Structure 1
Amino acid sequence: MLGWTLMFLVIAVIAGLLGFTGIAGAAAGIAKIIFFIFIVLLVISLLSSAIRGKGPRA
């Protein structure tokens, strides 16, 4: 999921440099939404593993 965020971020930066402000804004918005979803899922994953008492795999 983080890969999708980075892809949309790169599209937004390239479109912004080329002057396509509508496309850049849309791609940046999508990247922001996916990034926040990624952060929420990361926190949920960390909390669930902490509650279950499992540490990171070696």
Structure 2
Amino acid sequence: MTDWAGYGYAALIASGGAMGYVKAGSVPSLAAGLLFGGLAGVGAYQISQDPKNIWVSLGW
């Protein structure tokens, strides 16, 4: 079962960082958005593979 909500959340985080970069030229916003969006994407992938594997999504 694919975690579409998790992938959408990851994309939202990453796009927020990109928008911060585009609008204000903020490199830290871009880096944080890509880092945390990537981690959210990894968490969504792990939950899609094994619904009991929630540790990355919980921040461990």
Runs of 4+ in 1 over 4 A off after TM superposition: none
User: Is residue 17 of structure 2 the alignment partner of residue 12 of structure 1?
Assistant: yes
Q: Which residue of 1 aligns with 2:29?
A: 23
Q: How does 1:1-58 map to 2 (within 5 A)?
A: 1-18=6-23, 19-45=25-51
Q: What TM-score, normalized by structure 1, do the two folds share? A: 0.65
Aligned-CA RMSD value: 1.3
Bigger Cα Rg: 1
Give the Å deviation of 1:16: 2.2
Percent identical among aligned pairs is 7
In structure 2, list runs of 5 or more residues that go unmatched. Answer: 1-5, 52-60
Give the Cα separation in 2 of the matches to 1:13 and 1:24.
5
- Tell me the distance in 1 between the aligned counterparts of 2:15 and 2:35: 12
**Richer in helix (by share):** 1
SS of residue paired to 2:48: helix
